[in-house]
Amino acid sequence: MAINELPTILEGLARLLTTSSRDWGEYAPDAWLYAVLVGWDCEETEHSEACVHGALEEQAARHGWDALTVAKARRYRDAVRAVLDAPAQHRPAVSRWRVETLDNLAGEWAPGTGWPVRGAAVERFEALNAQAPRWKDGTPVTRRLVRETTTYTVEAETGPAAGARQDGAQP
Ligand SMILES: [Zn+2]
């Protein structure tokens, strides 16, 4: 789904801004892009001497943003962060389809080749049933089609969002 691309898109835009030598505070439209995509506020979880605080207020004074506009900047920034912090969305789930055969003696399902497209696995399933409907001793072969789904979760401290984030400091 296209919406799965959103974290990647937002991360890329933020990286574009933070790695640019442009003064994102000079013009109001630039300052607004920075406010939403990167954020002027300090986003460190533990504040230190190196922190820059009050950058958003500085931008507000510079560009004539009122309290509502400042609140909106923080709200939009929070929404962007929420998308970036949703770990499962960093990569969409991937499915493969397999034809499994029941091993009558062991009572276990033996997996076959994985197919990235369901149609290919269905074709295989139908072909196998047509070509080899029975075991050598004449008992019918039981097959089933299974879908295997792999999901991805970015482990908290290692996510790219943690490293890409800068302080509110201007470049
Ligand atoms: Zn701070």
**How confident is the model over 81-118, as pLDDT tens digits?**
988 877 655 667 788 999 999 998 888 999 888 888 99
Q: What percent of the chain has pLDDT over 70?
A: 84
**Residues 26-31: contacts with CB under 8 Å, at least 24 apart:** 28/63, 31/59, 31/62, 31/63
Q: Which amino acid is at 105?
A: L
- The alpha carbon of 41 and the centre of ligand 1 are apart by a number of angstroms equal to 8
Q: What is the dihedral of CA 74, 66, 12, 92, to 10 degrees?
A: 40
Q: What is the mean pLDDT of residues 133-150?
A: 93
Task: In whole angstroms, give the CA distance from residue 60 to residue 77.
Answer: 15
pTM: 0.53
What token pair was written down for 70?
């400042």
Please say whether the beta carbons of 3 and 91 come within 8 A: no
What confidence tens digit (pLDDT) does each residue in 145-166 have?
A: 999 988 777 666 665 554 444 4
Mean pLDDT of the chain: 86
Ligand 1 centre distance from Cα of residue 153 (Å)? 28
pLDDT at 18: 94
Distance 37 CA to ligand 1 centre (A): 18
Do 146 and 125 form a contact (C-beta atoms < 8 A)?
Answer: no
Q: How far is CA 147 from CA 21, 90, 125, in A?
A: 48, 22, 13
How far apart are alpha carbons 171 and 167 in whole angstroms?
10
Element (H, E) at 11: helix 6-18
